[in-house]
Structure 1
Amino acid sequence: MNCAFCKQNHYIRNCSEFLKLSPAERHTNAKRLKLCVNCLRSGHVNTVCRLSNCRRCNGRHNTLLHIQRNENENGRRETNTPENSNVSFTCSNFSRENVLLATALVQVTDKFNKSHTVRALLDSGSQSSFISSKLCDILNLETESIDMVVVGINSSKSQIKKKCEISVEALHSAYSVKLSCLIINEITGIQPTTVIDVNRLNIPKNIILADPEFYIPGPIELLIGANLFWKLMHVCQIRLGSDQPVLQKTSFGWIMSGNIAEKSNVSHCNLSLNCDIQNQLGKFWLLEECATKPAISEEETLCEQHFVEHTKRDAET
């Protein structure tokens, strides 16, 4: 097992030097090294590769090679602002401990009995299991109408209108289970939030991970809650050390969760866009302006005065 990029004893997807590159640079080097751009191994091309597609766009390439098409070369999103506009923003940066959440790659079956590999989040703190509406549509599953309110952190509420039942199978064993899921638009954001340097983790080589690509950011399409979570747990657990996550054996394979020594930098930006404020205020006052009595000329004033002074109405008979 030699890395095609640095020639060290690890897979290229675990290579810290390879992970430092941008997705475009990784793609270029994969082509240069004549690797399959889907699994990053040699000996075949992506059209015949049996590995699952990119977990971000479902394209025929590895998730490590995924390029955001709506970003320019400098990595900044392009935005068009109208002329005579003022743009102001405030930005604050802070560092926090990077915490790895427990994930597993599982197979789910669609209406036509075809298997799809998706990333599931294992969460013992959730009373229910959830499936994204996107995955439910892809699987073309039958749904049942319900009327339920899910209460989350800080008493935030989400209205649930449908639920479905799915078949979930482990990738590395014969384990399978039927799971009732509530359908929600989005379960959570990309997990993990950044690429993790796996060379800093003391992962034993003889274990089978439930999510072999846990260190690569990707979407969460399924959440397995406490209605199944504890039934998946086995008695084995491995502590990797101080500031290292914990390995837990499950029916899906070994999951990993906990603190990671490296920091995660997060930027919060508030953006204010004022488009030609003077013009907008002018339109406002024009709309709010009350109609005034039209002015009359001096000649018209004299005519009116003459009419009042010299005109009398006959008495009614």
Structure 2
Amino acid sequence: MESIKAFIRAADAILEFEESFAPTANNQSAYSLEVQQAELKSLWAEVKSEYKLCLPKVDASDTKTVEDIKLKYTNSYHSYVCCAALMGEHMHNLTGFNQSPSSNSTIIQPERLQQTAEPVRYSLNLPPCDTEIFHGDVLQWPSFRDLFAAIYGNNSRLSPVEKLFHLNQKTRGEAKAIVSKAPLTNDGFALAWNNLLCRYENKRVLVNTQLNLLFKLPHISTESEAELRNLQREINSCISALQIHGINIDSWDALFTYLCSIRLPDYTLSLWEQSLDSDSEIPKWVELDKFLTKRVKTLERVSNLKGESITQPKVQSAVGEGRTPTLQSRTVSKPINSHHVKTNSLKCKLCSSQAHILKSCQRFIEMQPNARLNAVRKLHVCLNCLSDTHEVKDCKSMFNCAKCKQRHHTMIHRDQSEEIAQSPASTDPTEISTKSHMASIKAKVSNVPTSQSMLLGTAMVTICHNENTFTVRALIDSGSEGTFITSSLQKRLNLTSRKVSARVSGLNNTVSGRVQTVCSITIGSPRNKGLKLEAEALVLPKLTGLLPSRSINPSIVKRLPNIPLADNNFHTSQKVDLLIGGDIYPKIILNGVKSKIFGSLIAQRTVFGWILTGSVPSEETKNKPTYVTYFNEVSLDNQLSKFQELEEIPKKPFFTVEEQYCDRLYSKTTIRNSEARYIVSLPFKVIPAETTFGASRHIALKQKRKKWKHSQQNVQVNDLVVVRAKNLPPNEWRLGRITKIYPGMDQRVRVVDIKTQRGLICKPITKNVILPNQC
């Protein structure tokens, strides 16, 4: 059984690696990808080794356990393939082939070309590759520089003027402006390339990025092997990147060990301190790296011994038709480590074939999106990853639809024209009621005949941040009181934000959203490099839907007046990441209006170019008549809140007439006499002519004697007392003499100063014993 536990532990490591790597894949550098690629290969080698050891030791008659182990191996193999493919794709986009990162002159080097051309002649027939368009981002410059040098710069079949032409095609923004200054001649290529090197060959920015990642590593509060492994991996990646950039880090051990030590949990930190041989010597990073490796392995073994039972697996019965039981092989606190394994073999539920899964089924691929969606619902599989082991509400996949970013698979994505059921046109709305575990939704669907499609003013603007410019699509709305930005764009640009509390209201004064953060941005124009507009942008998860709501025939652009448009793709339905409101609207509007374009469009001149607003005739649109859907979603949380509010005790107290009378009487008649006693009037409904309370004086005197048991005589200066002490027996209490008394408002002495052999102390008289015989 130990071999089976070792195999499950190795397979779980692959799954945890995929879960931690996938969300941060786009932010990794080429050097960190190389380090993580080596670690992934070692993890997979361990999985294969443990699989070969444990499979022969399992009893062949126990087919259930054998199938579980095989499926566990298949799942880990899929995770390994996904991670390896994702790493390879990003490394292909980031790294070059022949150009050295330290080159700072023209890339045409015949002697290097001869050295590198010979191996290529005998290489495999690889698919063609091309470099991405360079927009002026300093962090993307090394990859663009090396790729362009390998594909175009060192290509002997291209003349310099052809290389300059390709360089113009592969640059945008500020980089495009730098290249455009060079003449389109053979001599212009060397001039343009050297100008780009002078502007973007910024080693300092690349190093600062790695240092920023190093100093912002998260602190670990729990003894988790996954978090310790991630911390160790991030530090090693930064060290490797700094070495590749030529930074001498031989004397940086103190820095690396300190930054890592302050982020370790308490118990691991104490173990690290105990493992050091010397208390005065500065430890090496190599020592801490080895310690973390051993610590991670120890935590893995301990967690498996205490939290895993493979001899008696717990089988969970599935709920619902078409569900299969699952084997729970491990119990951990993180939701990403739920490790459920199907007991049946890999099988397509659509065609009952064991050669592929559902998303690889040829029959499923040939279906239309609506038919695929119906098949998915009928087969009771996950709408997001098409797996039959869970539902979409329990899906752990980090990936969504590639087209609309919603929580469903790309293969079942439907266009807006397909989202409404194909039913005959009817003027009577059809009411649909859908209930789920989270909300109650009511929808009314109407066939609204539309003859026009509306255009709102959109523009391509630039956002300047850290000396870099980013091009985004913005909606210009003079009816908005402020400027808004999507949270996805704010995180992508790493804009600094601060906490606020505001509500966003729309039509009918309804609250459409709540703003919790705001960030400062600098808006620029691609057509005016000197324009800088400062704005405070409120952050929202989503601003609008796709604009325009329906794509328009691109041929409309050819019939427009010859004017520079602010958004050349205004006819394509796309998302908007920035909304420019009335706070900076007056600063962007220029003189110039063109009306009656196609009879209904208006063109307005701005600093970004001309924006188009108005309706477009139906013959210019691509879609069929639009179905308008009105959704009314009532959250289950809101329903429970309303139910609880009905049962809540009113916050404002309600008094009866008699209680109000008592309150007024108490406020008017309550006084305090010279003895610091309160006199309160009794609230009689009807005051009798003769009031008799009986003999109550003796009762009050008894209560007073019971409350004050001390002597009625005040203590005096020079009285002898014995100071009580709870931690000492009475025969060891100290003797003292009163040196000062503190009478109160009633002239009673309750606190005194006592001089003892050890000094002067202040004590209440209840903590002392007054001696009867005094000198």
TM category, shorter? 0.5 to 0.7
Could you say what secondary structure the match of 2:482 adopts? Answer: coil
**Matching of residue 101 in structure 1 with residue 474 in structure 2:** no
Matching residue of 2:510: 156
**Correspondence for 1:245 among 601, 604, 621:** 601
Distance in structure 1 (CA, Å) of the matches to 2:131 and 2:585: 34
- Give the aligned residue type for 1:50: T
Distance in structure 2 (CA, Å) of the matches to 1:78 and 1:167: 44
Matching residue of 1:124: 478
Question: May I ask how many residue pairs the two structures share in their alignment?
Answer: 213
TM (normalized to structure 2)?
0.25
Matching residue of 2:533: 177
Matching residue of 2:417: none
**Correspondence for 2:492 among 115, 118, 138:** 138
Matching residue of 1:74: 368
Q: Is 2:457–2:476's contact at 8 Å kept on the other side of the alignment?
A: yes
Distance in structure 1 (CA, Å) of the matches to 2:468 and 2:132: 20
Distance in structure 2 (CA, Å) of the matches to 1:98 and 1:215: 11
- 1:50 Cα offset (Å): 3.2
Could you say what secondary structure the match of 1:78 adopts? Answer: helix
- 1:81 Cα offset (Å): 2.0
Distance in structure 2 (CA, Å) of the matches to 1:218 and 1:83: 33
Deviation >6 Å, runs of 4+? 36-39, 43-46
User: In terms of mean alpha carbon deviation, does 238-247 or 156-165 score higher?
Assistant: 238-247
- Bigger share in strand: 1
Matching residue of 2:617: 261
Matching residue of 1:195: 551
Distance in structure 2 (CA, Å) of the matches to 1:210 and 1:124: 16
Distance in structure 1 (CA, Å) of the matches to 2:544 and 2:449: 21
Q: 1:169 to 1:269 in 2, by over 3 A?
A: closer
- Give the aligned residue type for 2:627: S
Matching residue of 1:7: none
- 1:167 Cα offset (Å): 1.1
- 1:75 Cα offset (Å): 4.4
Q: 1:81 to 1:135 in 2, by over 3 A?
A: same
Q: Is 1:238–1:246's contact at 8 Å kept on the other side of the alignment?
A: yes
Distance in structure 2 (CA, Å) of the matches to 1:251 and 1:197: 26
Could you say what secondary structure the match of 2:555 adopts? Answer: helix
Q: Is 1:161–1:183's contact at 8 Å kept on the other side of the alignment?
A: yes
**Matching of residue 227 in structure 1 with residue 522 in structure 2:** no
**Matching of residue 215 in structure 1 with residue 509 in structure 2:** no
TM (normalized to structure 1)?
0.58
- Bigger share in helix: 2
User: In terms of mean alpha carbon deviation, does 230-239 or 261-270 score higher?
Assistant: 261-270
Tell me the alpha carbon deviations over residues 182-214 of structure 1, each in whole angstroms, 9 at most, x when there is no partner.
Answer: 000100011112221243464212x21111111
Q: Is 1:244–1:260's contact at 8 Å kept on the other side of the alignment?
A: yes
Distance in structure 2 (CA, Å) of the matches to 1:168 and 1:81: 46
Q: 1:129 to 1:81 in 2, by over 3 A?
A: same
Matching residue of 2:403: none
- 1:154 Cα offset (Å): 2.9
Matching residue of 2:170: 49
Matching residue of 1:115: 469
| Percent of matched pairs sharing the same residue | 25
Distance in structure 1 (CA, Å) of the matches to 2:600 and 2:554: 11
- Give the aligned residue type for 1:210: A
Could you say what secondary structure the match of 2:585 adopts? Answer: helix
Q: Is 2:518–2:538's contact at 8 Å kept on the other side of the alignment?
A: yes
Could you say what secondary structure the match of 2:613 adopts? Answer: strand
Q: 1:252 to 1:83 in 2, by over 3 A?
A: closer
Unpaired runs of 5+ in structure 1?
1-35, 53-68, 272-317
Q: Is 1:37–1:45's contact at 8 Å kept on the other side of the alignment?
A: no
- Give the aligned residue type for 1:249: R
- 1:103 Cα offset (Å): 0.4
Distance in structure 2 (CA, Å) of the matches to 1:257 and 1:143: 32
Matching residue of 1:17: none
Could you say what secondary structure the match of 1:125 adopts? Answer: coil
Q: Is 2:504–2:514's contact at 8 Å kept on the other side of the alignment?
A: yes
Q: Is 1:109–1:139's contact at 8 Å kept on the other side of the alignment?
A: no
Distance in structure 1 (CA, Å) of the matches to 2:497 and 2:630: 39
Q: Is 2:527–2:607's contact at 8 Å kept on the other side of the alignment?
A: no
User: In terms of mean alpha carbon deviation, does 74-83 or 128-137 score higher?
Assistant: 74-83
- Give the aligned residue type for 2:572: I
- Give the aligned residue type for 2:515: I
Distance in structure 1 (CA, Å) of the matches to 2:478 and 2:131: 36
Could you say what secondary structure the match of 1:211 adopts? Answer: coil
Q: 1:268 to 1:259 in 2, by over 3 A?
A: closer
Matching residue of 2:187: none
Unpaired runs of 5+ in structure 2?
1-129, 134-162, 174-358, 381-419, 422-429, 431-444, 632-775
Q: Is 2:474–2:580's contact at 8 Å kept on the other side of the alignment?
A: yes
Could you say what secondary structure the match of 1:137 adopts? Answer: helix
Distance in structure 1 (CA, Å) of the matches to 2:166 and 2:449: 40
If you compute each CA radius of gyration, which structure gives the higher value, 1 or 2?
Answer: 2
